Structure 1
Amino acid sequence: MCLNSFFISVFLSFCIAANAQDTTLVELDSFIKQKDKFDQEKRKRIDKLENNLQQLKEGDLEKKYTTYLALYEEYKTFDFNKAFEFSNKLEEVAALQKDSVKIAYSKMKKGFILLSSGMFKETFDALKSVNANSLTDSMRAEYYFLTARSYYDLADYDKDQYFSPRYVEKAGLYIDSAGYLCNENFYRYRYFQGLKNLKLGNITLASDILNKLLSEEDLSYSDYAVIASTLSDIYIQQNNTQRAIYLLAKAATADIKASTKEAAAMVNLAQILYQKNDVKNAYTFINAAMDDANFYGARQRKVQVSALLKVISGVKVNSVEEQRRVLTRFVLALAVLSLTIIAFAIIIYRQLIKLRKADRVITKANESLKQTIVKLNEADKIKEEYIGYYFNINSEYLDKLALLKKSIASKLEKKNYDDIKIAIDKINLHKERENLYLRFDKTFLQLFPNFVDEVNKLFKEEDQFILSSNQELNTELRIFALTRMGITDNDKIAHILDYSVNTIYAYKNRVKNKSIVPNDKFDDYLMKIRGV
């Protein structure tokens, strides 16, 4: 009886914890959608400070320093570039004031923003340039805490057996130094004591310190996010991933409320959810983290987040497919009959897809067939017109030849040889060829009445063809009319028009070079000109 009660209580605890985790993730997702609202509040504060800055007198260095510091504080976890800009301005104003305390403090602020972006070398360079002895006790404590965090972050980045332990040891010494300068109840000291014990492996003590801090009511959103995120590492080490996910979700929510864009909580949450095969939520949160990283603007942060985004995106589709298979197995466990229904549904669905594909193929084929029919009809009409034109011309020339033959035969009979020469000289081949071209032009324009207008659309207004009243087509248009008829061989065109092949090439190139379409596409545009 007692054993049953134990298992029931364990099961209920598991269900309650899982439900709390799911609720927190849903809550975080809803806050992600409200990010703009919190960012607008942040921007209002920034705008107010920047307006105040514009109203300051040029020589009021003290108020400038104070306003620059306030703007830096607003930007430091919001916009890397702007925060870096104001850290430089802080240093410039402090130098103008020749205030060693402010100069050191400004350099320390620059160190913080460099560390937040993952620029370790630059961070340590900035911190080494700080004259800590010139700082007040509270500032020096802050400097030691920042240096400690720098070594902890560097140790986490290296994760090796040689350098990391040394960095952890150095960080602990800086925390101890800070402890001499501040009250033991000071929030930052207590937090770093918890962090120090965590890094040294004193998990129980670290957990006690950080849990007590987290329970305090006067924490800012930023402080809550830092504590919860750090505390989640303890639960990850203890394999209590449900509690870790809960804390990371709460930390990420607090970061959103504080408009913190450089926070790591969202990234760590996405990573642990990915490891638990919750790809859907992991993908949602890593995308939100990527948006924040892009907004914050630090390159190292974007590289870190994009690496994880690539991994999670790569398995997202497979995860969806796996969920489908799990659901199918669940349905099979409920009833064998549902398998038959699903099988039929899949078969019908596939058949529908095939039918739709077939419909698309048929529709495409019909369109192609329609275009082919149009082209064939056009070709038939061209054939009919030009067969009639051909027989007409031949009939006329046969009649002329018959008359010429009869005339020459009569003159030969009478031995009027001079008359024969006169008759032959009367034959004007140039005029005959001109008549031939004129009749070709008229016949062609009956088939393609808009040919000249359509060709002119391929040129600028000043380069368009303008024909005289007695012209149907000029030489250039006649060359391209033959091309539209399907005669593309330059030798044939040259023979028909009684020109050399080089002349035909010259005409074509001169016209195409003036066209507004590419030379190699010119003939394609010609072939698109439709007949009647």
Structure 2
Amino acid sequence: MKQLLYFFCLLACVLPGCTGPETNKMLAELTETIQKAPVYDSTKNKRIATLRQQLGNSNNEHSDAIFDVYNNLYEEYKVFNYDSAFLYAHKMKDVAVLMNDHPRGVRADIQLCFGLLSSGMFKETLDALNRIDISGVSDSIKAEYYSVMGRYYYDLGDYANDKIHTPVYDSSAGKYIDSALVLWKPGSYQFDYFKGLKDLKSGNSNDAIRLFQNLLAQQTLTPHQLAITASTLSDIYVQQGQTEKAINLLVRATIADIQSSTKETSAAFNLANLLYKKGDVKNAFVCINKAITDAVFYGARQRKVQVSTILPLIESEKLNLVESQKQQLVLYAVLVTVLLIAVVGLTVVIFRQIKKLKIAQKTISEAHLKEREINQRLSDFNQLLSDSNKIKEEYIGYFFGTNSAFFSRIEKFKKNLEQKIAYRKIDDIIAAVNNINLKKEKEELLKNFDTVFLKLFPNFVTEFNALFAEHDWIRLKENELLNTDLRIFALIRMGVHDTDKIAEILEYSVHTINTYKTKVKNKSTIPNEEFEKRIMKIRTV
């Protein structure tokens, strides 16, 4: 037992830190979703192919319809592939210039800047943003411009990640976000998200959490919007040290990114970083591979740099884990071998003890069986004694009562005869003698026997019938207590087993009594040889 306890304690010491059951379930779902990523990408590629086909069917390369198709292609590639997104943003710009459409040109410029920023080209992004003239465009385009400017400075602050430059960049970003919030409708996704983002960067974590949680509770978010919101909210929980909540949000964000074929994302990278710090190297390796695959596919330079900082650490940790697992396996093998030897030894000892125990149990069982048999015999004997005493008591009383009444009648009859003899009344004497009804006396005797017997055994008829099928039950006539069949076995129950004695009492021949007994036993549902034993088991009350 001590060896087993030591073994399990050792297992507890060598197992790595793990996450909660809910997080483990979500990580398993993420692994399945990563495996399905080619399916989601295939769906996106089909949409892109449909849009490209629309370009081939168009005769006018500089129309509103072509601009819209280019815009739709840009939206498909926006977070999917940088080069293609940049290409179609340029095509949008070319169409807008040829159409001399300033608002469309501004929109194309903003989208070019978004692509540059997503690719990590900060200087080129700022130069392009500074060249944009947003005068004369709609509020929605202006808001989009301000949001890209705000994101530029926030990303620049995250890239600097120091106490000198980051606060300055965040302050500049906040001003542009304020300008955008004025133009967005309160309650819209853009308004609530960027308001929450500004609160986060400004240190108003509680307000930011409330806004982001309200957004995540909405059912109208697109997968991409859900991913952005969940990923941003996770940053707050990371700052607050609530790692489990942050991991769960990043898992949701990564799943949503995969389902929307978003390659320009930091969710998988941030998730890998948190899992690595928590000691979950296996899942961290899966996530970092997904992050670097997406970064390479999209062409995001800063993402490649970020991944390169942690990927070697995770790979090194994975190698260490593999080596550690090898050592653990060796240790487990030694422990299992020792335990196996111990189990074999214990098994031999146990079998020997079981063999001895079986012998002892057999001896005890035999003793108990004999004891039970003796007790049962004593119980049966006591019951017979009790029944016998009751029978004797009842029938002694019955005998004296019957004889007393009989002697009274004899004495009265004697006096009557003596009187008639004295007066020589021969005719009266003959009449008196003839009035004696022996048959009636016999019937009265049997009736008294039946009454006394049923007083001792009130359930006798019911239990007697229980030994037969229902159609063979004895059904007594009105005012009949027992019939001849029942009286024969009633006498047997009373202890009169001699057939001659039974025949004498009932005034039948021995042959007749045997015939009655055989007929009754043959109708019974139990063997003939057991019948009288069952009769003797009928108890008095």
Same fold (TM over 0.5): yes
2:300 maps to what in 1? 298
1:171-320 alignment runs, 5 A limit: 171-320=173-322
2:369 maps to what in 1? none
- Can you give the 5+ residue segments of structure 1 that lack an aligned partner in the other structure? 1-14, 345-532
- 1:486-526 Cα shifts (integer Å, max 9, x gaps): xxxxxxxxxxxxxxxxxxxxxxxxxxxxxxxxxxxxxxxxx
Counterpart of 2:154 (choices 127, 145, 152) is 152
Whole-Å separation in 1 of the counterparts to 2:326 and 2:234: 31
Counterpart of 2:55 (choices 53, 56, 65) is 53
2:40 maps to what in 1? 38
Whole-Å separation in 2 of the counterparts to 1:139 and 1:117: 22
Q: TM-score, normalised by structure 2?
A: 0.57
Q: Which amino acid aligns with 1:340?
A: V
1:81 maps to what in 2? 83
Contact 2:174 2:198 in 1 (8 A): yes
Query: Structure 2 vs 1, CA of residues 316 and 16 (structure 1 numbering), >3 Å: closer, same or farther?
Result: closer
Contact 1:105 1:130 in 2 (8 A): no
Counterpart of 1:340 (choices 327, 338, 341) is 338
1:465 maps to what in 2? none
Contact 2:266 2:303 in 1 (8 A): no
Contact 2:62 2:98 in 1 (8 A): no
Whole-Å separation in 1 of the counterparts to 2:259 and 2:335: 51
Whole-Å separation in 2 of the counterparts to 1:341 and 1:16: 27
Contact 1:78 1:259 in 2 (8 A): yes
2:10 maps to what in 1? none
Aligned residues: CA RMSD: 2.4
- 1:194-231 Cα shifts (integer Å, max 9, x gaps): 11111111111111111111110000000000000000
Aligned-pair distance for 1:339?
7.0
Aligned-pair distance for 1:324?
5.7
Question: In the alignment, does 2:167 pair up with 1:169?
Answer: no
Aligned-pair distance for 1:16?
13
- Can you give the 5+ residue segments of structure 2 that lack an aligned partner in the other structure? 1-16, 343-541
Contact 2:62 2:99 in 1 (8 A): no
Query: Structure 2 vs 1, CA of residues 163 and 325 (structure 1 numbering), >3 Å: closer, same or farther?
Result: same
Aligned-pair distance for 1:59?
4.6
Q: TM-score, normalised by structure 1?
A: 0.58
Whole-Å separation in 2 of the counterparts to 1:205 and 1:16: 31
Matched residue SS, 1:233: helix
Contact 1:105 1:135 in 2 (8 A): no
Q: Which protein has the larger Cα radius of gyration, Structure 1 or Structure 2?
A: 2
Contact 1:53 1:67 in 2 (8 A): yes
Contact 1:214 1:228 in 2 (8 A): yes
| Count of residue pairs brought into register by the alignment | 326
Query: Structure 2 vs 1, CA of residues 52 and 283 (structure 1 numbering), >3 Å: closer, same or farther?
Result: same
Contact 2:18 2:278 in 1 (8 A): no
Whole-Å separation in 2 of the counterparts to 1:283 and 1:192: 32
Query: Structure 2 vs 1, CA of residues 281 and 96 (structure 1 numbering), >3 Å: closer, same or farther?
Result: same
Q: Which amino acid aligns with 1:171?
A: A
2:464 maps to what in 1? none
Counterpart of 1:123 (choices 125, 134, 140) is 125
Aligned-pair distance for 1:340?
3.3
Whole-Å separation in 1 of the counterparts to 2:72 and 2:271: 31
Whole-Å separation in 1 of the counterparts to 2:27 and 2:253: 11
Query: Structure 2 vs 1, CA of residues 342 and 194 (structure 1 numbering), >3 Å: closer, same or farther?
Result: farther
Matched residue SS, 1:219: coil
Higher RCO structure (Cα 8 Å, ≥6 apart): 2
Whole-Å separation in 1 of the counterparts to 2:232 and 2:322: 32
